[in-house]
């Protein structure tokens, strides 16, 4: 049964010990911070990303911190072929025989522009990376997730995936789609597998994507990725067993600034 409350969670040192957790977009931003946190709490982490150099840097940081040795799995979600997806599944199967957690964190912002003028090829790229690739990776890894005694799939949403906002275009639509995918898959898994499926909204977090979306924002006013990782550990770990089909916020809502 669920024992953790993601926003208030304080992770135990060995909370993820013995778990194998795959994370997309693990080379930077929130994905990097969650990968480091998962390893710090004992998980064997599969670092998925498109830039090997960035993944190697995260690998080195994990090993230097005394965490379990991760594996690096290069995957460009915009261009990956079916064979590359299969190769990731084969590598995880050969090394671990199962997968306990899958965090779909990678994302593409696209343009902030009106629907009327949104560039169609860019729209397709954003929907592909954010939604179709997450679907395809989930599909190919499901047998390994089913093989785990308590597996957690976590999609990454956003506040603009719950309430539409002008100019957020393909990004907002992709996040609505991920909320839907979470519910559909959670319902399919419910009662017939130990696989739980949830979505997390990290909230405003100081990353390259945030800077691109809010260039005029005072960066120091935005929480760093390392401050929100406990919610991810909670949802990927044993404390959230039994919780499925939910969308969770990693942070408390920010108070409006005084006038």
Q: Which helix (H) or strand (E) holds 166?
A: none
> Considering the complex, what minimum distance in angstroms separates the CB of residue 26 from ligand NAP?
7
> Considering the complex, what minimum distance in angstroms separates the CB of residue 110 from ligand NAP?
10
Q: Is 50 in the site for ligand NAP (CB under 6 A)?
A: yes
Of the candidates 160, 236, 147, 170, the residue with the CA atom closest to the CA atom of residue 198: 236
- Choice between 207 and 238, CB closer to ligand NAP: 207
Contacts with 98 (C-beta within 8 Å, 6 or more apart), sequence order: 20, 144, 145, 147, 148, 151
- Choice between 196 and 206, CB closer to ligand NAP: 206
Of 27, 67, 110, 237, the one binding ligand NAP (CB under 6 A) is 27
Binding mask 198-237 for ligand NAP (x = CB under 6 A): ---xx-xx-xxxx---------------------------
> Considering the complex, what minimum distance in angstroms separates the CB of residue 192 from ligand NAP?
28
- Choice between 51 and 95, CB closer to ligand NAP: 51
The span from the CA of 192 to the CA of 63, in Å, is 37
Q: Is 70 in the site for ligand NAP (CB under 6 A)?
A: no
Q: What would the two tokens of residue 165 be? A: 């906002």
Is residue 118 among the annotated active site residues? no
DSSP 206-238: -SHHHHHH-TTS-GGGS--GGGSHHHHHHHHSG
Query: In this structure, what DSSP letter does residue 148 have?
Result: S
Phi, then psi, of 42 in degrees rounded to 5 = 100, -5
Residue among 59, 85, 171, 232 flagged as catalytic: 171
- Choice between 19 and 50, CB closer to ligand NAP: 50
């Amino acid at each position: 049964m669920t024992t953790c409350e993601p926003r208030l969670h304080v992770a135990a040192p060995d909370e993820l010990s013995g778990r194998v957790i795959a994370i997309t977009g693990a080379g930077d931003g929130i994905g990097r911070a969650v990968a480091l946190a998962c390893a710090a709490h004992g998980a064997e982490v599969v670092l998925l990303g498109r830039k090997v150099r960035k993944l190697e840097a995260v690998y080195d940081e994990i090993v230097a911190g005394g965490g379990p040795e991760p594996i690096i799995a290069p995957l460009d979600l915009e261009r990956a072929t079916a064979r590359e997806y299969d190769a990731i599944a084969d590598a995880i199967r050969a090394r671990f025989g199962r997968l306990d957690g899958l965090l779909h964190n990678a994302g593409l912002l696209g343009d902030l522009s009106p629907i009327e003028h949104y560039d169609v090829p860019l729209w397709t790229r954003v929907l592909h990376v954010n939604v179709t690739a997450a679907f395809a990776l989930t599909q190919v890894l499901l047998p390994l997730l089913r093989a785990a005694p308590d597996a957690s799939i976590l999609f990454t949403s956003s506040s603009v995936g719950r309430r539409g906002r002008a100019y957020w275009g393909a990004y907002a639509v992709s996040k609505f789609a991920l909320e839907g995918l979470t519910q559909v898959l959670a319902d399919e898994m419910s009662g017939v597998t130990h696989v739980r499926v949830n979505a997390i909204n990290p909230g405003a977090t100081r990353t390259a994507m945030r800077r691109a979306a809010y260039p005029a924002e005072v960066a120091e006013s935005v929480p760093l990725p390392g401050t929100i990782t406990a919610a991810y550990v909670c949802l990927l770990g044993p404390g959230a067993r039994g919780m499925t089909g939910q969308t969770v916020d990693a942070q408390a809502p920010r108070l409006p600034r005084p006038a």
